[in-house]
Structures are given as C-alpha cells and as structure tokens.
C-alpha cells in the first residue's frame, strides 16, 4: 500500500468510480461511518486468527471458516470506517462485493487481497460440503492462515488512512 498517494483521511481517490458503481448497482450501501465498528471487526479478526491457530493441525475443517472470517471481517472493517457496507441482497454476494470494493481501493497493492477469492470458495465447501469433496487439509489451512494474517495486517495499516467515503 506504499504506492498509494498520501491523502487526508476521508478522501480515498483510488477506486472511487468503482465504489460509486457498486453503490449504484446495490452491491454496497452507505451507512454511518464508524471507527468503533471497524475496531470491533478488527478485534474479532484477531480473535479468529488466534482461535484457528489452536485447532490448525487437529481440526483444519473447523479452523478454516475462522480464518476466512478473520480476513472477511478485516476487509469489512475498512468499509465500515468509510460508511460503506456490503448489501445483503447484492447480486454478486456480500462477501464478493466486500472483496471487490477493497481491491478497487487498493489499486496496485490489491494483491494482498487476492487470496481471499479462492479462500471464499473453499470456505463455501466447508460450510456446504458434498459427498466426494476433497477435505480441507492442515497444509491448506496453514496457507489460508498465512494469507488471512497478511490481509488482517494490511487492513490494520490501511484503517488509519480512511475516513468517510
């Protein structure tokens, strides 16, 4: 995120047109900006990562959704601070809308969020398993933990730079 221009909190020009389009299409909605809500979500993200570490090797299928939720809540925190929320009736889905909104705002630094997409799909497999699905492995869960930890850390760095959209 170091490639972002220095701007005053509240005005985040990167991805502004994409965010407006997402609002117009009903994928995002405006809500009251809330630093407190963003902080709560980040606290939950940290707790999820810590809890997942305890079951990483013994219960990878149970750890994976916690890891995913840590990343999702960290991404959602950035939107909450700006007064944005993924719309529950989004045609692309609230979780995907969250990912797209944050990626749009990160520009070239969006690579940190890229693992969230495959993680989102794999998390779906754990929540709605089918007979014959490949089980989540401890190695896969460890990789997800590394990816989610990177997402959470990046969002912690981004949050102080954000204000109302």
pLDDT, tens only, 46-100: 999 999 999 999 999 999 999 999 999 999 999 999 999 999 888 899 999 999 9
5-47 pLDDT, tens digit each: 454 456 678 899 999 999 999 999 999 999 999 999 999 999 9
How distant, in Å, are the alpha carbons of 34, 87, 95, 163 from that of 90?
22, 5, 9, 24
Give domain 35-81+111-161's CATH architecture.
Answer: Up-down Bundle (1.20)
Q: Are 12 and 159 in contact (CB under 8 A)?
A: no
86-91 long-range contacts (CB < 8 A, ≥24 apart) are: 86/27, 86/28, 86/29, 87/26, 87/27, 87/28, 87/29, 89/26, 90/26, 90/27, 90/28, 91/25, 91/26, 91/27
Residues ≥6 apart with Cβ < 8 Å to 10:
162, 163, 164
Q: Which residue stretches of 56-160 are H helix?
A: 60-82, 94-106, 116-127, 138-158
Spans of all domains in the chain = 35-81+111-161
- pTM of the entire structure? 0.91
């Amino acid at each position: 995120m170091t490639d972002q221009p220095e701007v005053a909190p509240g005005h985040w020009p990167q991805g502004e047109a994409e965010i407006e389009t997402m609002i117009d299409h009903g994928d995002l909605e405006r809500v009251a900006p809330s630093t407190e809500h963003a902080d709560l979500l980040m606290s939950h993200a940290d707790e999820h990562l810590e809890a997942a570490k305890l079951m990483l090797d013994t219960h990878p299928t149970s750890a994976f959704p916690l890891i995913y939720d840590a990343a999702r809540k960290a991404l959602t925190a950035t939107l909450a601070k700006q007064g944005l929320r993924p719309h529950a009736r989004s045609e692309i889905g609230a979780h995907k809308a969250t990912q797209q909104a944050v990626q749009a705002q990160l520009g070239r630094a969006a690579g940190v969020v890229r693992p969230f997409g495959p993680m989102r799909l794999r998390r779906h497999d754990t929540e709605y398993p089918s007979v014959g699905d490949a089980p989540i492995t401890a190695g896969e869960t460890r990789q997800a933990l590394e990816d989610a930890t990177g997402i959470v850390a990046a969002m912690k760095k981004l949050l102080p730079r954000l204000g109302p959209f």
